[in-house]
Copies of this chain bind each other. A is one copy, B any other.
Amino acid sequence: MDISLRQMRSFVAVAKLGSFTRAAEFLHVSQPTLTVQIRRLEEALQLKLFDRNPRSVNLTRVGRDLLPSFERTLQDLDSVLLDVKHVSTAQLGVVRIAALPSFAASLLPDSIRHFRKQNPGASFAVKDVIASAVLGLVRSDEVDLGLTGGNVDFPDIEVLFRASDEIRVVYPKGHPIDRFSRITAERLAQFPIVMMDGRTSVRAVTDNAFRKAKLMPTPVTETTQMMTALGMVRAGIGITLLPASAREIAAEPTLRARHISDPNFSRPVWLIKRKNRTLPPLSKAFADHLSRERVSFLKRDD
């Protein structure tokens, strides 16, 4: 014989209201229902909980001792269930997302701001890590979503959304390249280029684009940070190639960033999750939000 939550709620109601009839009203059930519930509870506990008289209902001492425990248990449970309700209706939750540092700095902040306008109960846990770490965090369920570039073609990874982050050429105003109306890989190769370090995903993309165009431009300098590359460009050392999403470009008002007429100069942006894993409602909502959102510097690949 086991006890039920309904029995516990019935017990608390009768104890607090001191009457089966009033408790029945309160719980929207008939009075005999409560009689049976309490009797079953007493049978299960093998304890008399109430002393009944036609005139009054009184807790026995063991009933009185038991009341606070049951009450606390029910309150705890109800507060958990209320939280659950908010989670299930996507009113509350933590969106755990791993992203490449460039996306974490450019794409995510505005998206999160917009999303939180409509979902004030959303909080975010953003991990800005390199591409392989994004995959690792997604695989180990430490994050719900991953925002990354590179290869994501794995059997345990599902792509929710794909876009392109265009790689642009950045040069000082008045630079000779500015006179071309269309800028191609060949044109770029004619100028000294400040290139990103070989381990960065940007460099992987540009190297690949030049290889496809059968060109081998020589880097005049290599930098790890985009900010450093821009400093070089400002100083007139050369031009550079940076993703459109890079916020750093805006920090240098004397520089111009322009589109390159070559589809290879773009890196893919993937929103991924672990395959066969259900997203929390709020994370799902954020994923949908990202998919719907038109980000100026991203090209949608639908």
Task: Output the nearest chain B residue to A62 by Cβ-Cβ distance.
Answer: B280
Closest to A144 in B: B61
- Cross-chain contact A80 with B62 (CB below 8 angstroms): no
Q: What residues on B are CB-neighbors of A45 within 8 Å?
A: 81, 84-85, 88
Count this chain's copies in the assembly: 2
| Contact indicator per residue, chain A 148-188, by CB within 8 Å of chain B (1) or not (0) | 00000000000000000000000000000000000000000
Binds B, one of A16-24, A47-55, A108-116, A239-247: A47-55
Whether the pair B77, A73 counts as a contact (CB closer than 8 A) is yes
Q: Is A6 an interface residue (CB 8 A)?
A: yes
CB of A76 within 8 Å of the partner chain? yes
Distance in angstroms from A13 CB to nearest chain B CB is 14
Asked if residues B47 and A66 are in contact (CB atoms below 8 Å), the reply is no
A42 CB to nearest chain B CB (Å): 10
Given contacts A2-B5, A280-B60, contact A80 B88 (CB under 8 A): no
Measured between beta carbons, the chain B residues less than 8 angstroms from A278 are: 48, 51, 60-61
Near B by CB (< 8 A), chain A positions 172-225 give none
Tally of chain A residues near chain B (CB < 8 A): 40
CA distance A285 to B236 in the complex (A): 98
Please tell me if A277 contacts chain B, counting CB pairs below 8 Å.
yes
Asked if A264 CB lies within 8 Å of chain B CBs, one says no
Which residue of B has the minimal Cβ distance to A50? B278
Q: Which residues of B contact A283 (CB under 8 A)?
A: 61
Across the interface, name the chain B residue whose C-beta is closest to A89.
B46
* Given A4-B4, A46-B88, A62-B281, 9 further pairs, Cβ under 8 A: A2-B5, A4-B5, A45-B81, A51-B276, A58-B277, A60-B277, A61-B141, A61-B280, A73-B77
